[in-house]
Copies of this chain bind each other. A is one copy, B any other.
Amino acid sequence: MATDELMARALAMLGDDDELSVEAIHRLTDATSADGPMTIAEIADMLDLSPHTLRYYERAGLVEVGRDSNGYRVYDAEAVRRLIFLTRMRLSGMPMRDLQHYIALVDAGDDTVPERLDMLIEHRDTIRRRIRELTLSLAATEYKIATYGGTTGPDVGSA
């Protein structure tokens, strides 16, 4: 109904500060090409996580990481790829528990592909719902900014 119109309107105003998305796109595409084993600091920097968080993910069983002769973590290409994936899933709201389950499935072999696809599809739907919800809130917020009178309600339909 009016929803699509709202969506379109909201979307049209989304063209400003491009930084976030461009940066993210670059991450998506470039990241893996910065080859060679990486240190925890480099990964943290690249993914905008703290080293603490990276260790936490490892403890949580989300990723396996090798060690060098000093016992320092060495992130190889696969670990990097997985962390990029994990980060994107986390950013879009997938709970740790689900990610742990997903990774367990990956490690369990190809038989689990269908279940993994189910999870991805469900997550996709969750993201879509969330976007719609946010779009609605965006419209409400913009409406309130435009018509601001000082009351707390949106006052749709009232004088």
Do the beta carbons of A13 and B128 come within 8 Å of each other?
yes
A152 at the interface (CB under 8 A from B): yes
Do the beta carbons of B81 and A153 come within 8 Å of each other?
yes
Do the beta carbons of B120 and A29 come within 8 Å of each other?
no
Known: A2-B25, A124-B142, A137-B127. A153 touches B20 (CB 8 A): no
A69 at the interface (CB under 8 A from B): no
A60 at the interface (CB under 8 A from B): no
A121 at the interface (CB under 8 A from B): yes
How many angstroms between the C-alpha atoms of A129 and B19 in the bound complex? 10
How many angstroms between the C-alpha atoms of A21 and B6 in the bound complex? 10
Do the beta carbons of B124 and A138 come within 8 Å of each other?
yes
Do the beta carbons of A138 and B132 come within 8 Å of each other?
no
- Known A20-B132, A117-B145, A124-B142; 4 more pairs at CB < 8 Å: A2-B25, A113-B150, A117-B148, A120-B145
A70 at the interface (CB under 8 A from B): no
How many angstroms between the C-alpha atoms of A127 and B86 in the bound complex? 22
A50 at the interface (CB under 8 A from B): no
Instruction: Mark each residue of chain A from 1 to 36: 1 if its CB lies under 8 Å from any CB of chain B, else 0.
Output: 111101100110111111011101100110011000
Known: A82-B153, A148-B117. A131 touches B14 (CB 8 A): yes
A159 at the interface (CB under 8 A from B): no
A88 at the interface (CB under 8 A from B): yes
Known: A128-B14, A131-B134. A28 touches B140 (CB 8 A): yes
